[in-house]
Amino acid sequence: MASDRRGRTPFSRSVFAAAFAGTALAWYDDHIFGVATALVFGELFFPRFDATAAALASFVTYAVGFVARPVAAAVVGHFGDRAGRRPMLILTLLLTGGSTFLIGALPGYAAIGVAAPLLLVLLRVVQGFGVAGEWGGAVLIAVEHAPPTRRSLWGAFAQYGVPIGVLTSNLAFLAVAALPDDVFTAYGWRLPFLFSAVLVVLGLLVRLRLPESPHFAAVRRAGATAAAPLRELTARHRHDLLWGALAATAPPALGYLLTVYLLGHGTREAGFQRGTLLTLVLLATVVWAAAILGAARLADRIGPRRVYLIGAAVAVIWPVPMFALVDTGEVGPALAACTVAAVVLGMMTGAQGALFADLFGVRVRYSGVSIAYTAGGVLGGAVTPLAASALFLASGSGAVVAGFVAALCLASVVGAARLRGAGAAAGRPGRSWPIRTLLRRTG
């Protein structure tokens, strides 16, 4: 197959497009829900509460999508390990984009009463179901097609969709944020949700043309697919499942602090305009995407776990100065806060795909990476915005919120340090390194 001077082939670009398209849609959809949660859902769907209670109710709705994800990951992972990666990637694309479109068309409390928040929660669960299976499938379709020396780089194909999804969702909300407040509340916020239908069509055009993963295809040809992937996973990979879930907490904890919670905190407590904060997050996501590329290339040289550990360790330190910079109410310090957070996120997410894929054998890999990733997301992504709101309400201090996020990131360091080495992908048992030995090796 012909390649350009950098060794890229038309096929590698098609794998990139297939992995990237779905995760970009998934995180576009998830992030516009998060932004709408911070800016409009309390008023529109929970108007009978006071402002603080409405904000908490909105974040509970946001968290529901995460809570549903481990169950959804087990279901989608089961069929991904039994029927293949490709059909599940098509299903998750439809679930995520379809539910998001329907949220954009959902009447508010004033029109249909209590049915409005109930339907919002239901659609959020469906959205979470799609997102839960999307990441694992997208990572595997890339890693399992990758050359041996580029597993981290190809595993990062899916990760590019995360900042790009955040970037495009911020652009969409930045465009409608310029509308008058009454117009924004009436229908302006709906436009980014309805636009997801266009992204679904584009994603389907790419994914319908992609062949099945060669690793899974070989297992299926040999008649060696797992009869009960979840049972086999829990019997043989309990260690990696547990520590993988703990390791997965830092990226969503820091990511949702940056892209969701600070939008509300910055406007209410630091005096920023809504459009200003959206612009700062937009600029930070560009840095995030660039950091993913650098981290993935570094991970292919020194190992994904080392790179992930470095990022997680810095994530422990950064939340406190991050809040202090945002609370100045000045654009320059706030931009610095968001930029450093974006680099740290890129360090972790650039290495995460290959790191998690190498923990599990092909027979149970879809289930393993999906459950570990989403279980970590419940703690890091669902709890963080809700706990941050409650902690700030109780203490009035951003430092308390920062300490909570730092604690989650510390747990992630411990989890990543306890993961076994690569080798599961080739059928070899991994090695479990003591934390002291691992830190010495990474140093």
Tens of pLDDT, residues 251-308:
989 987 887 777 777 877 777 887 788 788 888 888 999 999 999 999 999 999 999 9
Give the model's pLDDT for residue 422: 44
Helix, strand, coil in percent for the chain, rounding step 5:
80, 0, 15
Give the model's pLDDT for residue 350: 94
Give the model's pLDDT for residue 346: 94
Give the model's pLDDT for residue 4: 42
Give the model's pLDDT for residue 347: 95
Q: Strand, coil or helix: what is 432?
A: strand
Give the model's pLDDT for residue 243: 94
pLDDT below 50 — which residues of the chain?
1-8, 422-443
Give the Cα separation of 411 and 394 in Å (integer). Answer: 24
Give the model's pLDDT for residue 249: 94
Give the Cα separation of 438 and 416 in Å (integer). Answer: 10
Give the Cα separation of 285 and 297 in Å (integer). Answer: 19
Domain residue ranges of the chain, discontinuous segments joined by +: 10-442
Give the number of C-alpha atoms closer than 13 A to the C-alpha of residue 119, restricted to the C-beta side. Answer: 17
In CATH, which of 1.20.210.10, 3.40.50.620, 1.20.1250.20, 3.40.50.150 is domain 10-442?
Answer: 1.20.1250.20
Give the number of C-alpha atoms closer than 13 A to the C-alpha of residue 110, restricted to the C-beta side. Answer: 7
